[in-house]
């Protein structure tokens, strides 16, 4: 659920719902969503809110029936067409749980199209809980006004990532590279960042050998892994993405 806003809220609450939205559709909310709207936001029958399903844009809906544990919405009209985000993916070596959560939340806010966990030699995290990361992305999307969710992929190996063609692979290399400010260009792009301990020398050589790889520098300081991922993504959005 989104964070609790100042009371009374200045804008309508936004809620992600599963299932396809459309004019006249009726949507059954689950207990957590009903609790959020009824008890946290103190909304009852007739109240308006904004909804999105991740595909069809943003819709104005109204609470048609409010029970203690259930709620039904009736969908009225489209308020925004589905958004388009720049074709930029973030391939990141998962770090510890909290920084990974933070990375997913912020990357969603920044407008990333796809998140790909990449397991590298020095990746400490053994497992990635995709469902948890999807929930975090949904909450971030509800908060920041996104109507299309980033897709969050199953973890891949570095070799699998390097076999993806047709996209420029901006490799954040703490060992040096072209400054990000001049390297980033519009077009299908993947940003790759390493784990807490960095890439091994073998991995760096393999990445640099890929024909689509562009090693980039994120400045003179060594950034924490999650800072590097978000700094690179924010820079990309400013230089070649939708901040321009
Ligand atoms: N252990 C490494 C070291 O001490 O050299 C540091 C790894 S850093 C914490 C984690 C990842 O962030 C790196 O693998 C790289 O992808 C990225 N990174 C951090 N600082 C960077 C910089 N100044 N330029 C490019 N990439 C950077």
Atom number of ligand 1 nearest to Cα 194: 14
Instruction: Say what the pLDDT of residue 11 is.
Output: 82
Residue 40 Cα to ligand 1 midpoint, Å, equals 41
CA distance 109 to 230: 10
Instruction: Say what the pLDDT of residue 8 is.
Output: 52
Q: Tokens 């819709």 map to which residue? A: 59
Nearest CA-CA partner of 75 in 17, 19, 23: 23
Residue 153: both structure tokens together: 């992929």
Residue 174 Cα to ligand 1 midpoint, Å, equals 4
Residue 133 Cα to ligand 1 midpoint, Å, equals 23
HSE toward the beta carbon, residue 199, CA cutoff 13 A: 23
Instruction: Say what the pLDDT of residue 19 is.
Output: 86
Ligand 1 pocket check: which of 100, 122, 172 to mutate, most ligand atoms within 8 Å of Cβ? 172
Per-residue pLDDT of the chain (244 residues; tens, 9 = 90+): 665 655 555 689 999 999 899 999 999 999 999 999 999 999 999 999 999 999 999 999 999 999 878 999 999 999 999 999 999 999 999 999 999 999 999 999 999 999 999 999 999 888 899 999 999 999 999 999 999 999 999 999 999 999 988 999 999 999 999 999 999 999 999 999 999 999 999 999 999 999 999 999 999 999 999 999 999 999 999 999 999 9
Instruction: Say what the pLDDT of residue 195 is.
Output: 97
CA distance 56 to 148: 8
Residue 224 Cα to ligand 1 midpoint, Å, equals 7
Q: Tokens 């995290």 map to which residue? A: 125
Q: How deeply is 178 buried, as exposed, middle or buried, from its count of CB atoms within 10 A (0-12, 13-18, 19+)?
A: middle
Instruction: Say what the pLDDT of residue 6 is.
Output: 55
Instruction: Say what the pLDDT of residue 184 is.
Output: 98
CA-atom Rg of the chain in angstroms: 20
Atom number of ligand 1 nearest to Cα 193: 16
Are the beta carbons of 63 and 46 closer than 8 angstroms? Answer: yes
Beta bridge pairs of residue 171: 192, 215
Q: Tokens 């190996």 map to which residue? A: 157
3-state secondary structure of 100: helix
Atom number of ligand 1 nearest to Cα 219: 23
Ligand 1 neighbours (beta carbon < 6 A): 172-174, 193-194, 196-199, 217-219, 221-225, 228
């Amino acid at each position: 659920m989104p964070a609790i806003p100042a009371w009374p809220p200045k804008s309508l609450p936004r809620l992600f719902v599963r299932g396809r939205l459309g004019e006249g559709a009726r949507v059954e909310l689950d207990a957590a969503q009903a609790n959020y709207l009824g008890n946290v936001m103190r909304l009852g029958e007739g109240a308006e809110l904004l909804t999105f399903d991740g595909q069809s844009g943003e819709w104005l809906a109204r609470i048609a029936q409010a029970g203690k544990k259930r709620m039904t919405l009736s969908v009225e009209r489209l308020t925004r067409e589905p958004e388009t985000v720049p074709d930029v993916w973030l391939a990141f070596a998962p770090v510890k749980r909290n920084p990974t959560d933070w990375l997913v939340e912020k990357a969603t806010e920044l407008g990333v199209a796809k998140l790909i966990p990449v397991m590298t030699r020095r990746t400490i995290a053994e497992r990635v809980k995709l469902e948890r990361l999807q929930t975090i992305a949904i909450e971030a999307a509800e908060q920041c006004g996104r109507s299309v969710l980033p897709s969050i992929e199953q973890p891949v190996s570095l070799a699998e990532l390097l076999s993806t063609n047709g996209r420029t692979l901006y490799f954040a290399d703490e060992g040096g590279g072209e400054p990000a400010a001049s390297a980033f260009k519009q077009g299908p792009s993947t940003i790759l960042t390493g784990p807490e301990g960095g890439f091994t020398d073998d991995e760096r050589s393999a990445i640099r050998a890929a024909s689509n790889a562009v090693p980039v520098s994120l400045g003179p300081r060594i950034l924490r892994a999650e800072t590097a991922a978000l700094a690179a993504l924010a820079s990309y959005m400013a230089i070649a993405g939708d901040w321009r």
